Amino acid sequence: MSTEQQTATPMVEVRNVHKRFGNLEVLKGINLTVDRGKIISIIGPSGSGKSTLLRSVNNLEVIDDGVILLDGVQVNRPDMKGMAFERHINHIRQNMGMVFQHFNLFPHMSTIDNVTLAPRKLKGMDKKAARELGMEQLERVGLAEKADVFPNWLSGGQKQRVAIARALAMKPKVMLFDEATSALDPELVEEVNQVMRSLADEHMTMLIVTHEMSFARDVSDWALFMDGGVVVEESAPDKLFSNPDQERTRNFLQKHLENNK
Amino acid sequence: MDFDLMVEVTPLLIRAAWVTIDISSRAIFFGFFVACGLVFLQTLRFAPIRWFARGYVSIVRGTPYFVQLLLVFYGGPSIGLRLDPVTCGVVVGAFNIGAYMSEAIRGSIESVDNGQTEAARSLGFGRAQTMFYIVLPQAASLMIRSVGVLAIVLIKNSSLVSIISVVELTYQAQRLIGSTYKPLEIFTLSALMYIVIIYAVMGIIELAYRRATRYTTQ
Ligand SMILES: Nc1ncnc2c1ncn2[C@@H]1O[C@H](COP(=O)(O)OP(=O)(O)O)[C@@H](O)[C@H]1O
Ligand SMILES: [Mg+2]
């Protein structure tokens, strides 16, 4: 009964979310559900609100209207103020890993310290246990031998893999990827995609913003096309990428193909 | 040049140079706390406190150090603020460099990439933790050079405290010239001593900076 209930609760739920920057409405009523163990990709032109949506999920952007739920718990809490909300959101965020386009590794710490800082300071893990956990995560992304190196010594692809390991070390319920490979030289994209594929194999729940169309098609269970702050179309990836219903989706994919020749 | 005289007065000038170093280092030390206080006040919600801190910084930056010194030393007693010359030199120095340093500290905190804060917050760190573990360590290495430049300016300005008869390097030099009438020799010597002090400080700053940023060297 309880397991049934668990599988029934979506891992992430976004309901009628609106977000404005001043007069500019960037999200105009977004709905989205990510079920446990599923992978959802979001594609769309630049400026369509993909990053804002992803950042709203862990409250890096504060939404103006709507509801966001993580595993049944409401993330945005307009009723909560000050320190109470701080505590609430810090706790929520421990369960959501986020990977940024520009990695945002902590340059003043070694790779392993990047990975273990949060488990040590936020979960009170002792140094030895944290190092073990950190090495495990670095092995997972194939970078155990770089544990004691500073991030600036790593290639872009390696940096992003460390950033993924850093997020994984908190054992998140969901991973959010915001164009994780966009800042990389083309030859470094595949190593990061490889890591993301291995997470998919482990049934990690993921919400991925990307413009790697073939990767998104391969890896995801569901795909969304966003434009102008709305979800224009969503479907199984095979359909969305090869036979979309909407004119706008077709145009976008067409343009994207041309640009990547 | 009268080299015998130069050899003769050197010990006296060295002793005075120590006073210069002592006053300056104490002013820099206390100035750092003044600066941290000013930075902190400017983060508070209550606007009048922020205005006070900003106003203070503006006044210090908008007036000559020399005038600040004279104002406190000669004007202070009429409001009950009586300081001996050395203390006055340290206090005015600290409050002067503190204002400039607070700007340098604020600037270096702001120049830490916002992505650093977002990464930390996304892991679940609170504001204070993010500041403490992520932003400040990086800001600290960024501010070494700018604070170092301010320290050097302060050491040079310390010659101005001679006006309130603190027996530091410049005052001692003037005194010796009064009895020997050899300004070329004695000012040359004192200039050399300033050079030694200032280049030593520059060297320390550069070492500290390199050490603090060694993680960025590829
Ligand atoms: N902090 C902000 N302040 C003002 N406008 C913003 C901010 N962040 C994003 N925007 C605007 O919101 C729109 C959507 O941006 P974004 O979510 O980054 O799009 P995408 O990730 O799809 O490229 C853009 O027009 C962008 O200029
Ligand atoms: Mg974006």
CATH of the domain at B33: 1.10.3720.10
Residue located via tokens 């820099």 = B28
| Atom nearest to A49 CA in ligand 1 | 17
**Residue among A235, A214, A215 at smallest CA distance from A224:** A235
Closest ligand 1 atom, CA of A46?
A: 23
Q: Is residue B144 part of a domain?
A: yes
Is there a domain that residue B163 lies in?
yes
pLDDT tens digits, one per residue of B150-162: 999 999 999 999 9
Question: Is the full-model pTM beyond 0.80?
Answer: yes
Assign B209 to helix, strand or coil.
Answer: helix
- The 3-state DSSP class for residue A32 equals strand
Identify whether the C-beta of residue A11 lies closer than 8 Å to the C-beta of residue A70: yes
Residue A48 beta carbon below 6 angstroms from any ligand 1 atom: yes
Number of domains comprising chain B: 1
Single out the residue of A97, A110, A192, A177 nearest to residue A146, CA to CA: A110
Beta strands in chain A (DSSP E): 12-21, 24-34, 39-43, 65-70, 73-74, 96-99, 174-178, 205-209, 222-227, 230-235
What pLDDT is attached to residue A6? Answer: 55
Classify each residue of A92-131 as buried b or exposed e, where b means 16 or more C-beta atoms within 10 Å of its C-beta.
Answer: bbbbbbbbbbbbbbbbbbbbbbbbbbbbbbbeebeeeebb
* Token pair for B217: 């060297």
Per-residue pLDDT tens digits for B21-42: 999 999 999 999 999 999 999 9
Q: What is residue A153's DSSP assignment?
A: G
The CA A97 to ligand 2 mean position distance, Å, reads 17
Structure token digits, residue A235: 């479907």
Q: What is chain B's mean pLDDT, rounded?
A: 94
pLDDT at position B217: 60
Q: At residue B216, does pLDDT exceed 80?
A: no
* Residue B104 Rama label (left phi>0; alpha psi -120 to 50; beta): alpha
Distance from CA of A104 to the nearest CA of B (A): 6
- What spacing in Å lies between the alpha carbon of A51 and ligand 2's midpoint? 4
Nearest chain B residue to A121, by CA: B125
pLDDT for position A259? 80
* C-alpha to C-alpha distance for A192 and A184, rounded to whole angstroms: 9
B24 occurs within a structural domain: yes
* Contact indicator for A25, A144 with CB cutoff of 8 Å: no
CA distances from A57 to A86, A105, A115, B155 (A): 15, 21, 22, 52
- Enumerate the residues of chain B whose CB falls inside 8 A of the CB of residue A100: 115, 118-119
Nearest CA in chain B to A105: B116
**Ligand 1 lined by A229 (C-beta under 6 Å):** no
8 Å CB contact of B215 and A167: no
**In this predicted structure, what is the pLDDT of residue B215?**
79
CA angle A104, A110, A112 (to 5 degrees): 95
pLDDT given at position A1: 43
Task: Give pLDDT, residue A5.
Answer: 53
Determine the structural domain holding residue B170 and report its residue range. 3-212
Find the distance separating the first CA and the last CA of chain A, reported in whole Å. Answer: 52
Alpha carbon of B80 to those of A131, B86, B161: distances in Å? Answer: 60, 17, 21
Q: Which residues of A touch B (CB under 8 A)?
A: 58, 60, 86, 90-94, 96-98, 100, 102, 104-108, 117-118, 121-122, 150-153, 163, 166-167, 170
Number of cross-chain residue pairs from A and B with Cβ atoms under 8 Å apart: 67
- The answer to whether position B57 is within a domain reads yes
CA distance A112 to A133: 10
Chain B residues within 8 A of A52 when measuring between CB atoms: none
Structural domain contains residue B217: no
Q: Which residues of A touch B123 (CB under 8 A)?
A: 93-94, 117-118, 122, 166-167, 170
Residues of B in contact with A58 (CB under 8 A): 122
pLDDT at residue B218 tops 60? no
Report CB contact under 8 Å: B134, A107.
no
Per-10-residue mean pLDDT of chain A, 261 residues long, equals 62 97 96 96 96 97 97 95 94 97 96 97 96 96 95 95 97 97 95 96 96 94 96 96 95 87 59
CB A30 within 8 A of CB A17: yes
The residue of B123, B127, B131 whose CB has the most chain A CBs within 10 angstroms, and thus the best one to mutate to test that interface, is B123
Ligand 1: atom nearest CA of A226 is 22
Residue of minimum CA distance from atom 9 in ligand 1: A52
Residue A11, pLDDT score: 96
B116 vs A92, A104, A153: nearest CB: A104
The end-to-end CA distance of chain B, in Å, is 51
CA distance A227 to A229: 6
Regarding the beta carbon of A51 and ligand 1, being less than 6 Å apart is answered: yes
pLDDT, position B214: 83
Atom of ligand 1 nearest to the CA of A54: 17
Judged by CB atoms closer than 8 Å, whether chains meet at B215 and A152 is answered as: yes
> Which pLDDT does position B185 carry in this prediction?
92
